[in-house]
Amino acid sequence: MDSLEQQYLSRARNELTEHIVYHKLSLREKKTVNREALEKLSTQEKSHYEFWRTLLPQETAIKPSALAVYGIPLLHKIFGVTFTTKLLESHEKNAVANYEKMLAKVPDSHKKRLELIIEDERFHERTLISKLKEKRVAYIGFVALGLSDAIVEITGVHAGFLGVTGSTLIAGISGVIVGFAAAISMGAAAYLQAKQDTEKSAALSAFVTGISYMISVICLALPYFLIHTMLIAFITSTLIGILLLAAFTFYGAVVFDRKFSRELAESVSLMLGTAIATYILGTFVGNVFHIKQANF
């Protein structure tokens, strides 16, 4: 098989895989609007597969990616239909560029059809995906509010205590207490904010914000109860905070078509900037009041 046929085979395999995956996802959807959009995507990918199939010898065996066929429905179950479909389509910019390069290579009899496929990949599929409706997406903003605020605030609390005391126990307990109070406060703020939006439940918005805040607090405080060296506990907690930010930033970047690297850089910079400021303040307070370095 020459290199051009290898390219045809790769395209056919990708389109066949996506056809099967979208069909599987449509069977899992209870909402009619989502199911119909996924079925249309599946049908569209099948027609793209059939196009590439006509460019290959009849005897060529084409198998879908087993990892995608079985792994992507699992992603759907965990992260939802919007994230999964947008992640699937995230490679389309490269696909369109590759298809445009191949216009000069395919037989003249196939050029018009390939142009229509490029149009599908560039516009039609995005239109179908934009029709997806998912409740969890409506509350992502409240999850982001709880998670990001907790990471910035509690990392700041821990950094402040790094400059005051050598006790990881005191720093951990302080983070949990401050975090608990802040989670209630943030939940109340989310409740009042959501009351202005008739499409969202104020109670659920408050719950989602408070819970995401407390989960972040617990994750950040845990190293201080397991590690007895203050600096190592702080570094470990900060790395956990960065990982949490990276995971949620990636999710949001996929769902809302944002730039992941820029969003993450902004969030991490804010977290570390706050930590530096509170560490300086904590060191100053510790020196002024001659607070003894306590170790429990």
Is the pLDDT confidence value at 94 over 80?
no
Which pLDDT score is estimated for 132? 87
Confidence of residue 92 (pLDDT cuts 50, 70, 90): low
Is the pLDDT confidence value at 26 over 90?
yes
User: Could you count the other beta carbons within 10 Å of the beta carbon of residue 236?
Assistant: 17
Answer positive or negative: Cα dihedral of 115, 118, 124, 127.
negative
Q: What is the widest separation between alpha-carbon atoms in the chain?
A: 84
Structure tokens at 215: 């989960």
Which pLDDT score is estimated for 93? 65
Is the pLDDT confidence value at 292 over 90?
no
pLDDT tens digits for range 97-142:
788 888 888 999 999 999 999 888 877 777 888 888 888 888 888 8
Structure tokens at 88: 């699937």
pLDDT tens digits for range 148-160:
999 999 999 999 9
Which pLDDT score is estimated for 294? 47
Average pLDDT of the chain, as a whole number? 89
pLDDT tens digits for range 43-83:
999 999 999 999 999 889 999 999 999 999 999 988 899 99
Confidence of residue 193 (pLDDT cuts 50, 70, 90): confident
Is the pLDDT confidence value at 1 over 60?
no
pLDDT tens digits for range 162-191:
888 888 999 999 999 999 999 999 999 999
Q: What is the pTM of this model?
A: 0.85
Q: What domains lie within the chain, and their CATH numbers?
A: 3-133 (1.20.1260.10), 137-288 (no CATH)
pLDDT tens digits for range 252-279:
898 888 889 999 999 999 999 999 999 9
Which pLDDT score is estimated for 40? 93
Which pLDDT score is estimated for 296? 45
Which pLDDT score is estimated for 295? 46
**Alpha-carbon span 245 to 152, nearest angstrom:** 10
Which of left, alpha, beta for 258 (phi over 0: left; psi -120 to 50: alpha)? beta
Among candidates 227, 191, 187, 228, which has minimal Cα distance to 209? 187
